[in-house]
Structure 1
Amino acid sequence: MLTTHTDALPPARTRSTRVPPAAGPGRPRTGPPGRPPGRRDSRRPAGPRTSPTRAVRRRPARPDPHDWFAEQLLLTLSGRRPVHALLGHALPAAYDRLVELAPQAPLRPTGTGAGRYAPAPSVAHCGLCLPRPDVIEAFARIASGERLRALAFRLELGGDARWRCAAVDIGPSTRVW
């Protein structure tokens, strides 16, 4: 039996006739057929597949209620926001207290002399206590330059699932040793 030169060559392989390696018990098949496992198509970005016409929209992370209220109270009590901005976010007693405190602007930045001003106040830290699931008692340390002030407030969860400020108190404005 004589073989010709063409019989000795292996058959030509094309992409469509390529047999993928078998997925054994310890080696699951992870890629598309026709491509060895572990290789990725360089034309396609890595990561989960999403439809090009439908973008995935994620909600921005919502701050915790005590952090949000501390920032809002700081803006109001420093004179950067009017009191009525908190009208729907405060119960009547707390709103009356804010109306009493706001004209004094107890958290406003104070001048440091020689024409320089202190930096705008900011919430340095905010902590909380949960006496009940529907009540948050919070405190905030307000920093303005080297000065540190205390702010305490109480939040209550209403029947409409909204947190409202029920009480506000601010530490003394002068240092007592």
Structure 2
Amino acid sequence: MKKKVSDQSSSSKLDRKIIERNRRHHMKTLCFKLASLIPSQQIRTSKDIISQGDQLDQAATYIKQLRDRIEKLKEIKEAATESVKTSNSNIMDTVNFGLRLPVVDLRECGPSIEVVLISGLQKNFMLYEAISILEDEGAEVVSASFSTLGDKLFHTIHAQVRISRLGVETSRVCQRLHELIY
């Protein structure tokens, strides 16, 4: 009987040793993975190997820095969103009080052209038609977008002059855009 009890206790000690070894190995692997996620410029080391405790401290510091950065970016985003809301309400006030729709605004800045078209929802023209006019006149469209605000439709097109020597005759582009949206 005593032999069975001692066999059981030695096997349970062996099991505990194996479990503990596996746990330490698992923790070592997790610490290695954590350390590998920290950018190399964040690691303050010499050529010596740093301890796991130091690795954990560096990871904690890095996580705190990321949290601070996230908070700052959220503040910047909220400020920008508020600025856009204020800007959009100012645009709406301007559109509702004084501007006759539709509006064609063409700005030329060197080889770049920005076209802003504002129309009511009842005026039906397609953005691709405005893009085609620009491309027909020698511009290459870089980006185009539209948005709706209230009962107004805003189109913005950014283009570049294809051949700088020839340029784009903006007065002709403006005339064709007027014909399109009026």
Common fold: TM-score over 0.5: no
TM interval, short-chain normalised: under 0.3
Give the TM-score of the pair, scaled to structure 1: 0.28
Higher strand proportion: 1
Give the TM-score of the pair, scaled to structure 2: 0.27
